[in-house]
Structure 1
Amino acid sequence: MTAPAPAVLVLEDGTRYTGRAYGAEGRALGEAVFATGMTGYQETLTDPSYAGQIVVQTAPHIGNTGMNDEDMESRRVWVAGYVVRDPSRVVSSFRSLRSLDDELAQDGIVGISGIDTRALTRRLRSAGSMRSGIFSGAEAALPDEEQLAAVRAGRDMRGLNLSAEVSVLETRVVPAAEGSEPLGRLAVLDLGVKESTIRKLALRGFEVHVVPQTITVEQLRELGPAAVFYSNGPGDPAASDAHVELLQGVLRDGLPFFGICFGNQLLGRALGFGTYKLAFGHRGINQPVLDKATGRIEITAHNHGFAVDAPIEGEIESPAGFGRVEVSHVGLNDRVVEGLRALDIPAFSVQYHPEAAAGPHDSDYLFDRFRDLVAEHRSTKGAAQ
């Protein structure tokens, strides 16, 4: 077997890590972030929220269960680059159809292995996420100055809108699950939606219409949905004014709304709050979150580098005129806003991922909460008519 080609990871502060090529060879540029999950690497790789990012796995041993077709969260691998310490030499799952490194090579994802990911993670945790690049094969032989210049010329996640890169171009319809109680059409704005989210919604009786991120409020009204959902996705929420204006139209129409991750940030903006970039973000499947309504602590899956800027305690008047709002969920590691609930209109959101296919499943109830909200709204609307 031919030895892997040399590779180097370069951070924008000039820090360098030398290792071996993993997956495709060449050059990859993106924001370096670390993910703390010990399982679920396939779900991570195929989550569109990771578009534009070079993902560092803190778990040292990656690839042992290979890749399959059932656990894909979207149509392809989305990470800009991939960093692991010790890739598995064998695949040992009966569900596996191919190896992880073959999948990365097939999708053109440039990766690096054999570096000290613990040291890299500590660097990102102290200095913050930053632009980076992986250079392997012939690219690894380029002068250090040329590699660093390429990294520093890369895109900054601040002010970056990536929705058009991950969204569907045409509406896709997924019928309600057989045996579920029908709740009507649900418009899902695809900002990088995951397949597990669509399945969870269909199981609750929604006829799921996954719509392009370019849809207008007039086109949405023509669809006649019973409710609207904003998905997870990559990029800076401050660069998504059109999606905020669309959501404000939805809220004024009185349609029930549920948002996840990026959808939570956009609800925050629609209600009149600001957003900000976290130093190194939350990425992993082991994040503790407090549900303020129940006092219950949930272990949750996260993937976000931005957050809503709103007061943690008490009821707040929406600066945009949508009535009272409260922060419903709080991250216990750093007191970040992890959920919003409007008290005078039927709208709520969470920052984390209740659909987490690789687990945990503590937050699955949120889909039931949304189903009940829509059913109650339909009942109230019918009674009024």
Structure 2
Amino acid sequence: MEHAESSLPLGLEMRARGASTNETPRFEQLTRSFASDGWDIPYEGGVVRTTLAREEPRRVITRNSSPDIPFDRSINPYRGCEHGCTYCFARPTHAWLGLSAGLDFETRLVAKTNVAAQLERELRHPNYAVAPIAIGTNTDPYQPVEAREKTMRAIVQVLSDYNHPLMITTKGTLIERDLDLLAPMARRGLLNVGISLTTLGTTLSRQLEPRAPTPARRLKTIRMLADAGIPVRVMVAPVIPGLSDHELEAILGAARGAGARAASWIMLRLPLEVSQLFQDWLATHVPERKEKVMRRIREMHGGKDYAANWGKRMRGEGEFAELIGKRFEIATTRLGFEDSLPKLTSALFACPERKGDQLSLF
């Protein structure tokens, strides 16, 4: 099906937004166009505003069997992400809601309600087998809306109460708010955190990740977490060939200096709608580099913008991908990074007693 671009109000200002279009979702049979009725709240004042809907999930823990990732379960507190990272591989998931991977993904968010109670029910199920839960693998749990919603904090509180191992990935500095819960979990061997950095350049970061904290601010977060005794991994992600790949060693050095103990990297991924959105971004911000960037990407994916093959999709193939891997290996060895963060323990997991529970005899 051909996707027609959804028209937007004339004079609309794309202030601090990663996408500039709102293409009709790929599962929709009808195209969409904008017609003002005088009640255009999302576009009030000529600026795209963020709106928030809520849903009560039937399940909180999502399972996966991917061989490319080191966990089998995760929690996504939010659908969509206001950080607006142009390259975000999660953008296409908004199509399942009948929404666009473009502006809808970063302006029409969905928060999950009653998460803590549902999570407790799942953890208390007689057949539940404990293993680390990953949060932040799809959309960022510490994006701006979390300051008001506190959904992530409620999740962390439950996992702390149950002594459940947790892995967090974020670029949001709001994680610092929850140090009172996270630091004790780390001391019990229940937590590690990954902070992602794409570039050290403030201007490039603002263009790529318009509502995410600046790189310098994220480095400060790494320092605060490390000083609190929390094992931190820097994630050089994504590496953008022809645009940010030259910063690999500098990013690793800055993160190591801030206290990161381990590191990882992921090559830029352009699944489905993300490819055209990113190409539009290149044409707008760095038109002179567009051809080089896309040529490199296609070289690593057999001539395609993206290939989702297991074992290859995160890094790509070919000489350039191998060169990035070798540079990463040399830099992390020189800087003294650990091969991996300490393994999280599952031995402490236990369901806390509730009022009315029958006490154990032992």
Structure 2-normalised TM-score?
0.37
| Structure with greater strand percent | 1
Structure 1-normalised TM-score?
0.36
More RCO (CA 8 Å, sep 6+): 2
